[in-house]
Amino acid sequence: MRLAAAAAAAAIRPTAALLFPPHRRTASLRRSSLPLARPRRNSSTAETRPKPNESSAARRRRARDSPEGLLKAKLDICSRDNDLPTALTLYEAAISPDSLIPLSVGHYNCLLYLCANAASSSPDAAHRGFDIFSRMEADGVHPNEATLTIVARLAAARRDPAMAFSIVRRMATAGTAPHLRSYGPALFAYCDAGDADGATEVEAHMDTSGVVPEEPELAALLRVNSARGRPDQVYRLLHRARVLLRQVTDATAQLLESWFASHAASEAGLHHWDATKVKEGLRNGGGGWHGQGWLGKGQWSVGRSEMDKDGTCQRCGEKLVCIDIDPSETRSFADSVAQIAINRDANFIKFQKWLECHGPFDAVIDAANVGLYNRNSFSFYEVNRVVNGIQRITKSKKLPLIILHKNRVNGGPAKLPQNQKLLESWQRAGALYATPPGSNDDWYWLYAAVIYQSLLVTNDEMRDHLFQLLGTSFFPRWKEKHQVRLIFSGRGWNFHLPPPYSIVIQESEEGSWHVPTTNGDDIEKPRQWICVTRKIPEKSSQALARAVG
């Protein structure tokens, strides 16, 4: 029925035919590296064409002062101020035959962006957006990923998720890689319309394109499937959230609480199940989940809880598990860290050789992070206090590896006699490595901690672009098990060691669930968990007991 509706809608949309002509020639697609465009006409003026022997600065200055450059500057101001009326006035003047200015993809993107911003409250803005895109295609201006994402937003604003999804599909087919934001308009429009099948189709296309959903997308999918009473899909998405998110924001937590309180959730599940398969699932997954579906039947008991220091739920008494990490994953992760570091820093190989001579270490200290904790000047005294503190905690009682940039080892406070003595003692013990100028010490302490499976002492949340390069779900799991964070009080340093359980959505052998919420960077604030349980029928309990026996 949805396909028929989409076909009917396409028949009355003039812009749909413009976007997706029914008999597009494959030759034209091969001729262009981007979709939905004809060869560009009037792409430059005399003011913007390059001149012989012109410097880059002069070329940029001339482009900036050209009619096209001045128009782009004015449109950028409109974009900043969200001023669609002025932008449309500029557009009409630019396409007037009396003062024609060739428009680039940058001009069109600014205009389309403003139309999309206003489209949710103004149907006229969406209509103008499609008219502008029609002009863009007629002029042969090649749309990029940003252009097509904005056009998908316009379609979604008109409550046409099928058209928004078609844009993304054609984008992928024509060789323009969709981003996560490209899928958002179609996915959220399907979810807002209550079309769970359409939303699931978008999710499947994302998977095919290698685009990973984040919490807003997974929350929208959970919401629409929960509202439609689709327990199998909610179960699948809850496990997807376990892998991709691990923890959820309070908004998603409330959504899950609503699901477990619903009639559909109480009806979902099995009175009897194969306890052997459940145990096998727990073992094969490393613990904390089995993937065998909802266990039990009947009303769920839902509430917020906290865990004690051993991981025991204060509400139901269940003890959470520490989920294993495959050693092969650790080795692969260490190799990827080393490869990225070596590509950016030729000195890193010397560090690897140094570690072979001086390792292993039970703990690694990000000394720059520690020495500058809540202060403007570096303190060797505080670093030494942390060194001594973590040394007492580790099994071997060996000095930890101290990573510090060479500039801090050779200059500033390092020249003071007491600090010189301290540095010499660390060097004699083979516990200090000074990273050379131009090197990023983050890669050094991370690599050492990974290969030795050491504790890593740092308050660095490791969120910047360097850590984003790692692009793997392994990193947050590893960090949870190895990072030691610090709090300084009047009595000295407090070491917040990794918990003995995994802070991740967990599914128990008896079918209960515990979902952790995010608590930001406040390591002293107890984390809230959703605790979800229900009674297991006596026969099912006996079946489990026999399986144990």
Is 315 in the same domain as 345?
no
Query: What tokens were used for 10?
Result: 């396409």
492 occurs within a structural domain: yes
pTM for the model stands at 0.81
Is 179 in the same domain as 314?
no
Is 458 in the same domain as 331?
yes
Half-sphere exposure of 452 (CA within 13 A, CB side): 21
Q: Which of 188, 212, 236 is a domain's end point? A: 212
Domain that holds residue 296: 270-321+502-548
234 occurs within a structural domain: no
The pLDDT value given to residue 471: 65
The tally of domains found in the chain comes to 3
The pLDDT value given to residue 266: 96
Tens of pLDDT along the chain (549 residues)? 444 334 433 332 333 333 433 333 222 322 233 344 444 444 445 455 666 777 777 777 877 778 999 999 999 999 999 999 999 999 999 999 988 999 999 999 999 999 999 998 888 999 999 999 999 999 999 999 999 999 999 999 999 999 999 999 988 888 889 999 999 999 999 999 999 999 999 999 999 999 999 999 999 999 999 999 999 999 999 999 999 999 999 999 999 999 999 999 999 999 889 999 999 999 888 889 999 999 999 999 999 999 999 999 999 999 999 988 888 889 999 999 999 899 989 999 999 999 999 999 999 999 999 999 988 899 999 999 999 999 999 988 999 999 999 999 998 999 999 999 999 999 999 999 999 998 999 999 999 999 999 999 999 988 776 666 676 678 888 999 999 999 988 788 999 999 999 999 999 999 999 999 997 667 778 899 999 999 876 545 444 444 444
Pair 281, 292: CB distance under 8 Å: yes
Backbone angles phi, psi at 193, to 5 degrees: -80, -5
pLDDT tens profile 72-97 = 999 999 999 999 999 999 999 999 99
Helix residue ranges, H only, 174-208: 180-192, 196-208
Pair 148, 182: CB distance under 8 Å: yes
Half-sphere exposure of 234 (CA within 13 A, CB side): 23
Backbone angles phi, psi at 248, to 5 degrees: -125, 155
Is 350 in the same domain as 205?
no
Is 122 in the same domain as 22?
yes
Query: In the 8-state DSSP scheme, what is residue 525?
Result: S
253 occurs within a structural domain: no
Pair 457, 227: CB distance under 8 Å: no
Q: How far apart are CA 230 and CA 325, in angstroms?
A: 32
Is 305 in the same domain as 376?
no
231 occurs within a structural domain: no
The pLDDT value given to residue 51: 66
Is 438 in the same domain as 507?
no
Sign of CA dihedral 35, 36, 40, 45: negative
Is 301 in the same domain as 385?
no
229 occurs within a structural domain: no
Name the CA dihedral angle for 33, 35, 36, 42, rounded to a multiple of 10 degrees: -30
The pLDDT value given to residue 476: 87
Helix residue ranges, H only, 209-249: 215-227, 231-244
204: β partners: none
270: β partners: 295
Closest CA to 97 of 47, 42, 140: 42
Closest CA to 515 of 122, 142, 321, 246: 246
Residues with Cβ within 8 Å of residue 180, at least 6 apart in sequence = 206, 211, 212, 213, 214, 217
Residue 493's H or E segment, with its range, is strand 492-496
**CATH number of the domain residue 65 falls in:** 1.25.40.10
Q: How far apart are CA 446 and CA 439, in angstroms?
A: 13
**CATH number of the domain residue 383 falls in:** 3.40.50.11980
229: β partners: none
Is 148 in the same domain as 92?
yes
Question: Exposed, middle or buried by CB within 10 Å (0-12, 13-18, 19+), for 268?
Answer: buried
233 occurs within a structural domain: no
Q: Which of 170, 187, 212 is a domain's end point? A: 212
Is 304 in the same domain as 380?
no
